[in-house]
Amino acid sequence: MPRMRFAMSATTALEILSTEPFELVFLDHDLSFMDAGFPERLHGNGKEVARYLARTNFAGHVVIHSHSDQAATMAKILPQATVCRYGDFDVTTAQSAAAR
């Protein structure tokens, strides 16, 4: 079974993405309180991770799930991504589905 990883900062996300292969990435814009308060920032948020994925020609699927208006900006960076606002879907694994 593939291992799930998560990052709570752009720095950690970039470290993980640069060292491990992924088929699917869920990407939010607001990774800290600064992102919600200062959405025009270019670094330390989901936009920075989106630019990395675009620059490295990420071959997997990206789901942008964000309440932030910056989701549209990230979608321009990653036009192949699926945009699904956070809270509009549930993520389950085969293991959690079997437990139901």
The C-alpha atoms of residue 37 and residue 68 are separated, in whole angstroms, by 11
How far does the chain reach from its first CA to its final CA, in angstroms? 19
For the beta sheet containing 61-64, the strands, ordered from the edge strand earlier in sequence to the opposite edge, are 24-27, 61-64, 82-83
Q: Give this prediction's pTM.
A: 0.80
Q: What is the structure's pLDDT at 95?
A: 59
| Local confidence band at 38 (pLDDT 50, 70, 90 cut-offs) | low
The C-alpha atoms of residue 55 and residue 33 are separated, in whole angstroms, by 26
Residue-averaged pLDDT of the chain? 84
Percent of the chain with pLDDT over 90: 48
Please compute the mean of the pLDDT values over residues 78-90 and round it to a whole number: 81
Per-residue pLDDT tens digits for 19-35: 999 999 999 888 877 76
